[in-house]
Structure 1
């Protein structure tokens, strides 16, 4: 609050004129800025209430304010993807509200998060909230349909719903159409792109992705099937090991000369597979490099092995193993913190929808389902970390070892775990739990009983990690007193040996960078060669 501002004047009026104490300022507030500039009526920066109402519906604008913690800086820049992302967040909280109405709240931690989302939505109420679940047309989809000149949005969303829209749902759709047109006219990314004259030039990795996508589309059995087309896109991303954002950038630039567009599978359906192949074919001549392994196959059953039953059930398992000794772990390191913060700042686009589309996340969810684990309540570690970023929550700071390899986990979306080597009773093994076996997980007060199909790491004293590095046991936890560590990296199904090796190399390098030490040995234990 600035001296001589509205609150200061209000205090004066209350005490000197009305003879009463002013309302509590709740410790003050942070600035609400527009595009990084403080709102100031005297300087002409910011928006009037009327102007803001022309950008966002009242309930969505109130949601923007309510979801932001008190005394937290709020910068609202309507240009680019800010508005579509805001609607996505609003819809996510609206879904939580519907779950609350239906008494279908998840249990444990997931239930707490859902309850928080529902409460944010309730506090954002301007008009009365619906009393039953409604079908909500996604704002981003409305924008894309308007851009593609689809004039019958009601028919489109009724097809999506597989039923007629009721009167309330039509009102919501009409409102979103109104604000989508305003967004496209004034604030969309296309407005920014139209000012750019530099010709797009794909990277070598993007060229490889386009070639891979051409090949995947070319072998489709049903070239009009949306699910097969979508799977071809994800498979191309997985095979190329490219970030989805980079893949979709070259995809849209090649097809419609823009950096983004309608849903990829919808665009391919609209243009036709043969036309898409023709537009992408300029990068067919990409050189194919021969795959070589970064690490040798490790044959040290006295240290680690995969149980025969597990290997037979999951022949695709590849586990990276490394032992690093004489390390020096500290509580924090400012350079590491800066490196993590840079990564987080680059993820402003991240949403739960994007996270759910990552092939690695899909892979771990598939494994969890086969193990009888509900991945809604036990999130695989890459997903759990990335979801904290998408929800604007701070990452946990443990120590320089754990924080370092967690950065690699977030970048590559492959699970990594480190354990105090000197606390083990070797050999260790990945196996199924025996009946009545339990594990005392880090942070818990009571032991957790294993499920029969759970994959877990064991030494001769019992389990020390469950569900591919979902959580660790207390007794082998890495602390500032740890001097030697055992590192493992988890690969299965579409998380190939190559991906495991990449994550292991980066994990080793970043641990050596911030903790020192020396690698005693490292390698890959594969189920097929165990």
Structure 2
């Protein structure tokens, strides 16, 4: 899978770096060890941030800045990393879905980056384009119905939108039958070092999902490598 970044996103977020991780995986219900890892991370977040400090984390603040540059109000459509951390700090708890989804949430919470997680076998074509959502563009968000993605960064395959920093699409969502994962780590501004984020993701994928045939790629909005 390859990523192309459209000019509208390059101009709005010139510091954007996208890291993709593809892997063959074996998914399962959330393991007790991963559940504990996520809960420990949540306790650390609660001990570190007040509610009004969450959106000032560098990774989250940079994502919000990109939303505003594209014309989207981030307080109405929060990036997923921000929404997860707010749930933790407000003591609302987290959902436990399955190993793949929950390990992606660990990486997102730890790094401050919103991360797209897709069943690669459900993606149409071998290239995703990262552009801006259009008015009235259809998008069925996972667990929340139709989402207004106008002026929001959006990954599209040959059929249409599959992921935004706020939510991914039902059409390509991860489930227990997922055998090939595509993870898109959206670094609009650096918080956790990219190499450390990759290392964390690979450790979790290996530990909880028997990841193999792994491919890691990086893309820069600036075009500078």
Q: How does 1:219-238 map to 2 (within 5 A)?
A: none
Q: Secondary structure at the match of 1:331?
A: coil
Structure 2 residue aligned with 1:363: 62
Indicate conservation of the 8 Å contact 1:405/1:511, yes or no.
Answer: no
| Pairing 1:440–2:140 present | yes
Structure 2 residue aligned with 1:411: 110
In structure 2, how many angstroms separate the alpha carbons of the residues matched to 1:381 and 1:411?
13
Indicate conservation of the 8 Å contact 2:12/2:70, yes or no.
Answer: no
Q: How does 1:395-410 map to 2 (within 5 A)?
A: 395-410=94-109
Instruction: Tell me: CA distance 1:308–1:329, structure 2 relative to 1, closer, same or farther (3 Å).
Output: same
In structure 1, how many angstroms separate the alpha carbons of the residues matched to 2:135 and 2:76?
23
| Pairing 1:384–2:83 present | yes
Q: Which has the higher helix share?
A: 1
| Pairing 1:474–2:170 present | yes
Structure 2 residue aligned with 1:428: 128
Indicate conservation of the 8 Å contact 1:409/1:503, yes or no.
Answer: no
Indicate conservation of the 8 Å contact 1:320/1:501, yes or no.
Answer: no
Structure 2 residue aligned with 1:489: 185
| Pairing 1:522–2:221 present | no
Number of residue equivalences: 222
Q: How does 1:77-116 map to 2 (within 5 A)?
A: none
Structure 1 residue aligned with 2:44: 346
Structure 2 residue aligned with 1:336: 34
The CA deviation string for residues 404-443 of structure 1, in whole angstroms up to 9 with x for no partner, is 1211211121222210000011221101245642212112
Instruction: Tell me: CA distance 1:376–1:412, structure 2 relative to 1, closer, same or farther (3 Å).
Output: same
Alpha-carbon distance, 1:310 to partner? 2.6
Q: List alignment gaps of at least 5 residues for structure 2.
A: none
In structure 1, how many angstroms separate the alpha carbons of the residues matched to 2:76 and 2:11?
28
Q: Secondary structure at the match of 2:130?
A: strand
| Pairing 1:374–2:73 present | yes
Instruction: Tell me: CA distance 1:434–1:474, structure 2 relative to 1, closer, same or farther (3 Å).
Output: same
Q: How does 1:60-75 map to 2 (within 5 A)?
A: none
* RMSD between superposed Cα atoms in Å: 2.1
In structure 1, how many angstroms separate the alpha carbons of the residues matched to 2:56 and 2:15?
21
In structure 2, how many angstroms separate the alpha carbons of the residues matched to 1:511 and 1:342?
18
Q: Which has the higher contact order (CA 8 A, sep 6+)?
A: 2
The CA deviation string for residues 256-306 of structure 1, in whole angstroms up to 9 with x for no partner, is xxxxxxxxxxxxxxxxxxxxxxxxxxxxxxxxxxxxxxxxxxxxxx62211
In structure 1, how many angstroms separate the alpha carbons of the residues matched to 2:62 and 2:7?
22
Q: Which has the higher strand share?
A: 2
Q: List alignment gaps of at least 5 residues for structure 1.
A: 1-301
In structure 2, how many angstroms separate the alpha carbons of the residues matched to 1:416 and 1:330?
20
Instruction: Tell me: CA distance 1:528–1:331, structure 2 relative to 1, closer, same or farther (3 Å).
Output: same
In structure 2, how many angstroms separate the alpha carbons of the residues matched to 1:425 and 1:406?
25
Instruction: Tell me: CA distance 1:339–1:463, structure 2 relative to 1, closer, same or farther (3 Å).
Output: same
Structure 2 residue aligned with 1:311: 10
Select the structure of larger CA radius of gyration.
1
Q: Secondary structure at the match of 2:141?
A: coil
Indicate conservation of the 8 Å contact 2:34/2:103, yes or no.
Answer: yes
Alpha-carbon distance, 1:348 to partner? 4.1
In structure 2, how many angstroms separate the alpha carbons of the residues matched to 1:435 and 1:363?
23
The CA deviation string for residues 146-175 of structure 1, in whole angstroms up to 9 with x for no partner, is xxxxxxxxxxxxxxxxxxxxxxxxxxxxxx
Alpha-carbon distance, 1:502 to partner? 2.5
| Pairing 1:504–2:186 present | no
In structure 2, how many angstroms separate the alpha carbons of the residues matched to 1:368 and 1:433?
11
Instruction: Tell me: CA distance 1:384–1:448, structure 2 relative to 1, closer, same or farther (3 Å).
Output: closer
The CA deviation string for residues 93-149 of structure 1, in whole angstroms up to 9 with x for no partner, is xxxxxxxxxxxxxxxxxxxxxxxxxxxxxxxxxxxxxxxxxxxxxxxxxxxxxxxxx
Instruction: Tell me: CA distance 1:437–1:347, structure 2 relative to 1, closer, same or farther (3 Å).
Output: closer
Of 454, 457, 465, the match for 2:155: 457
